[in-house]
Structure 1
Amino acid sequence: MKEPLDDDAEGASPAPRGFFETLVADGPWTAKSFVAVSVATVAALVAWVTSFSSPDAARFGGSYLGGYFIGWAFRRFLRFAALVAGGILAAVTLLKNTGWIDLDWGSVETQVGQAAASIHQGAQGLRQTLSGYLPSAGAGAAGVFFGFRKK
């Protein structure tokens, strides 16, 4: 005779999570490098406050942590944006094929081109702003790379 499965048993399915819990379930704070650099940054801040060292180590660690979080958030954003864009594209295709809407594709292409140029300009401005706030560009770039790779 089989025993019923407990909630803590290995074969049990996980409890459903809400949107926020799903969004932050695998956050950057679970990565070993993020935790290690966080500890090193806090230690560097303490050393700087107690006048044992310069703030450069804390800046380096802060740049890495900031870059890591940016890369992680960008990966999450890309996944969500791809899902939304696919849904919109499927809905427009369905509505176009059923005859509910009539689109002037030339106008749509023009609008998409203008939107892409605007997004490109905004991204350039964001890049310049972030490079001003991340004092160590190398550490920030490494953080973005590893944060984007975090699965």
Structure 2
Amino acid sequence: MSIFLIAGVGIQAQTQQGMMPANAQQSQKEYSEKEIDVFAGTVAEVMPIQQEAQKEMIKKIQEGGMELNNFNQIARQVQQGGQPEGVSEEQMEKFQAISKEIQTINMGIQKKMTKVITDEGMTPAKYQEMIGAYSSNPQMKQKVDQKLAAMQQ
């Protein structure tokens, strides 16, 4: 089962969803201006989908009777492979039920994002590769951030 830490929004959400490149050398690849333009446009389309999904996930956590920080704390402990310490059986049951709902939301968001990515002219693999480069290459990050800022004006 996937564990979801609900926190920051934006491109970083992609890296939390396991969309990191398989090999760090990909991150240092140089991209053409056209590739960066397409990527920035794709990110601009994907971000609202991520933001809406994040709101929906937070709502599910609250409706499930948990606080966001508590949910994230349990998620981190589970993700690290341990049985969460100091968590009641009732809290663990709530966590598991909410996690299933969030997993369903995540499957839906993945489908929407894949459609947007392909509609924008990228492959999901190329998008993942460029997310990794954005996260690890300061020059790439700067170029993409500048293009995103220009799109918002």
Same fold (TM over 0.5): no
Q: Greater CA radius of gyration, 1 or 2?
A: 1
**TM-score, normalization by structure 2:** 0.32
**TM-score, normalization by structure 1:** 0.32
